[in-house]
Amino acid sequence: MKGLELFNIIRTDLKTVEKELQKIVKTRDPLLTETSAHLLNAGGKRLRPAFALVAGKTYSYNPDKLIPLAMALELIHMASLVHDDVIDDSYTRRGIPTVKANWGDQISIYTGTYLFAQSLILIAKCDNPVISRILAEISVKMCEGEIQQIVSSFDAQQTVKDYFFRIKRKTALLISASCELGAVACGAPDYHIRALARFGYYLGMAFQITDDILDFTASQHQLGKPVGSDLRQGIVTLPVIFALAASPSRHRLAEIIANKNKKEGEVLETIKIIKNCGAIEKSFAVSYCYLAKAKKQLSYLPSGGATNCLAVIADFIGKRKF
């Protein structure tokens, strides 16, 4: 199960979001249109807009208020991706060339900035100061997470706390906001909004931990990028941190992590060390703990198709292979 299949309950409006996003990336400038459309059509899961729409379904669903919000969330996410690809020197994403690969760093940065600016227009249309405030705060924190990732690259001394600080800002907060603001836009009561915000946060943490595990366990075909990409870029993730604490080869592992010019054999050696010391299983256990916390929040929401859909998504994230 993938893509729209997870979100049958909001299938029609999710397709509307997609159509409206296609309109936004058509600009007067042919190059900007080409780069923006390339990014939009690169096979994204559209999780953030989908979460906002489903969250709205748990209360008083209003597509006129939700669709601009859902579009803004996806544009913020897309802008962060194209900037990430420049910073991480990434040439493929989801199995296709990045904007950076095809058009270079300068065009990539301006494409990301354009998409973020378009999100601001949509946020203004929401005409809700709570939505504007939360997305502004989260945009700042996302930048903090990216800066922390750059500063801590190739550092084998990082702790689990350091890792959680980073992925909270890079991933979990925007997913949390997507769930929270879907309810805000529909006028849900405070307890309802808080439950969805917590659900999104826990789900976002589990999603990123799973992503980081898959970097070592999935195939290149499944990932759409080389296995061990984080390791090559010096990004220290949870399986690496656990391996550094538990593996008999921890000193060798730390040596490889600190090397900015890793050879392919060293990357494969590191993956073997991580797999052989139980770090993958321990990381999955942490992810499952977050997912259990996420599902607990659903008990505070009205029963029905939307809440059931959120539970199915949580189960899917725990099992996903891509």
Burial 199-225 (b: 16+ CB within 10 A, else e): bbbbbbbbbbbbbbbbbbbbeeeebeb
The per-residue pLDDT for range 200-253, each reduced to its tens digit, is 999 999 999 999 999 999 887 777 777 899 999 999 999 999 999 999 999 999
**Could you give the CA distance from residue 121 to residue 119 in angstroms, rounded to a whole number?**
5
The chain-wide mean pLDDT, for the chain, equals: 94
Mean pLDDT of 34-46: 91
Q: What is the pLDDT of residue 167?
A: 97
Residues 271-321 have pLDDT tens digits of: 999 999 999 999 999 999 999 999 999 999 999 999 999 999 999 888 876
Phi and psi for 93 in degrees, rounded to 5? -145, 130
C-beta separation of 202 from 297 below 8 A: yes
In the chain, what are the domain boundaries?
3-319
Q: The whole model's pTM is what?
A: 0.94
Q: Would you state the pLDDT for residue 1?
A: 40
Residue 3 confidence class, pLDDT cut points 50, 70, 90 = very low
Per-position b or e across 98-113, b if 16+ CB within 10 A of its CB: bbbeebeeebbbbbbe
Residues 82, 115: contact at Cβ < 8 Å? yes
Query: Positive or negative, the Cα torsion across 130, 134, 137, 143?
Result: negative
The answer to whether domain 3-319 has CATH 1.10.600.10 is yes
- pLDDT band of 109, cuts 50, 70, 90: very high
Question: What pLDDT, on the 0 to 100 scale, is given for residue 2?
Answer: 47
Structure tokens at 23: 């309109």
Q: Is the pLDDT of residue 34 over 90?
A: yes
Both structure tokens of 257? 């992590």
Say what percent of the chain tops pLDDT 70.
Answer: 98
Residue 95: per-residue pLDDT: 80
The answer to whether the beta carbons of residues 314 and 196 sit under 8 Å apart is no
Find, among 293, 93, 52, 78, the residue nearest to 211 by Cα: 93
- pLDDT exceeds cutoff 60 at 257: yes
Mean pLDDT of all residues in 34-51: 92
Give the tokens for residue 138. Answer: 């989260």
Query: For 121-161, what is each residue's pLDDT tens digit?
Result: 999 999 999 999 999 999 999 999 999 999 999 999 999 99
